[in-house]
Amino acid sequence: MGRYYFGTISGKFWFATQSSDDAAHFKNKISYTEPPRCLEYAECCCFVEDMKDNYCKKCYSSYEEHYEAIDDEELQENYICNSPLMYENNYIKYYFYDYELDFVTDKLNKIKNEITIDFDKIGFRLIKDDKESIEYELDNFDYINNIKNEEQEILIARWCLGKQIEQSIKEKGYCEIYCEI
């Protein structure tokens, strides 16, 4: 149970503490627009990269082949001739560019200044998974659970996510995140 995020960073949102749109706190509100819900193709579940493609060109050689591959007759009836074989899924996508690094770093510093607990006791560290996605670990989650301060827990969870975003921008020049809603 729980909601996950993946892309150049990956992890799990803190249960009952962190919302799926928490990454929005690291976007500049002046130029920020609400992230779109992601679309995926029917049957193969690949993410839609180009709205001009009405079928998945990674998995099928034609619209007809993709349509015929849809295993559910009722689902097939939902698609009229040449309509895009895609639907909204349960993800929102955030993309951070290299020019947003200073804003992300400034936001992280502001959040850290609002955290009143002994930060060194958390034992935060960034790691990479087998797909080179940036994750994090906390050595002392019990310490956080004993805080009993919801506002502080929200700030710590947000700071951890922000550190992943910052590191991805530093290493790759961008950060792309798909957040389960």
- Give residue limits of the domains in the chain: 4-36+94-180, 38-90
Looking at the predicted structure, is the pLDDT value of residue 96 above 80? yes
Q: Is the dihedral of CA 43, 48, 51, 57 positive or negative?
A: negative
User: What pLDDT is stored for residue 76 in this prediction?
Assistant: 60
pLDDT in tens, 109-168: 999 999 988 878 888 989 987 778 999 988 887 887 788 888 999 999 999 999 999 999
Q: Which residue has the higher pLDDT, 43 or 167?
A: 167
pLDDT at 40: 86
Q: What is the mean pLDDT of the chain?
A: 87
Where does the pLDDT of residue 82 fall: very low under 50, low under 70, confident under 90, or very high at 90 and above?
Answer: low
**pLDDT(81) > 60:** no
Please identify which residue in the block is written with the tokens 């007809």: 64
Tally DSSP H helices, then E strands, for the chain.
5, 7
Interstrand relation of 86-97 and 4-7 (parallel, antiparallel or unpaired): unpaired
d(CA 169, CA 166): 5
pTM here is 0.80
Place of tokens 């009143």: 116
CA dihedral 157, 160, 164, 165 (to 10 degrees): 60
